[in-house]
Amino acid sequence: MRILLLDTNHPLIEQQLSGKGFVFDADYTSSYDEVLEKIRNYEGIIIRSRIPLDKNFLTKASHLKFIARVGAGMENIDIETAESLGIKLINSPEGNRDSVAEHVVGMLLILMNRLFIASNEVKNGIWKREENRGDELLGKTFGIIGYGNMGKATAKRLSGFGVEVIFYDILPDLSDEFAKQVSLEELQKRADILSLHIPLTDETNYLIDEEFISKMEKNFYFVNTARGKNLKTKALVQAIEAGKVLGACLDVLEYEKSSFENLETENQDLKYLLDSEKVIITPHIAGWTHQSKEKLAQVIVDKIFKTT
């Protein structure tokens, strides 16, 4: 089986698959059109996010048997077309769920205890104690939207913090020892902290907007390690200004390029977030640890073996 690698990944992918007779071509620089010219020569593709696999691409990939996405999100792939053509879709959310969960907790602790602000002040000769008084997680209700791999891992990490974890998911009967499933209305009524762990779909695009935020009964902290366009940035800015959102931890932004490698533009809403002491922003690295790189690759290899 001949496989095209479109993004760099952990070398174990090539090492282990080569041992089973798979043949590889690596192309990390060609454009969409250049890859399109040769895609009919391959039975498998391993990607992250560099090139969109749309309907036009997939219909020309006449020998393609599988697409393996090293990561969780599949929005860069025309899933409906792929399934209609009998192309098997593989992803690896199990590989970086732990790093995402730790990132969520880490960002919240930094934000709520003003650790980054206080540290920078001390390094600049400023010693403020009362102004840097923190806010504890203990006793709060932590609301999760999306209880898949990432949501469950986050709830598990929170089990020692003395918080009550509740979640909303479109699938039923997902409650476990770490979190209780509730309606969206109950989550909006009770949550002190809201964390997103959902894919980007037509239904979740701008899920968190002015209307959603207005239905949150409490002032709350907001965390997004899912996709930037799950959130309407302008709505978040307005909520922070109004005091409805106490602070935000954002690993993803509405303005990211589809490859997640940079920002498309700057505007006033983005500038507000970048300048605000109530916002922590990281460059889409919640699932980006040394350990997750290897785990993501191993999950992909194991699933390819099972598929082929």
Mind telling me the catalytic residues?
227, 256, 284
Q: Are residues 275 and 240 in contact, defined by beta-carbon separation less than 8 angstroms?
A: no
Could you tell me if residue 51 is left (phi over 0), alpha (psi between -120 and 50 degrees) or otherwise beta?
A: beta
Helix, strand, coil distribution of the chain in percent, nearest 5: 40, 20, 40
Please report, to the nearest 10 degrees, the dihedral formed by the alpha carbons of residues 149, 162, 176, 143 taken in order. Answer: -60
| Neighbour tally for 277: CB within 10 Å | 10
Q: Residues, the chain, total?
A: 308
Angle formed at CA 252 by CA 251 and CA 254, multiple of 5 degrees: 150
The H or E element containing residue 29 is: none
Q: How far apart are CA 220 and CA 271, in angstroms?
A: 22
Tokens of 62: 């006449």
Q: What is the C-alpha separation between 52 and 250, in angstroms, rounded?
A: 24
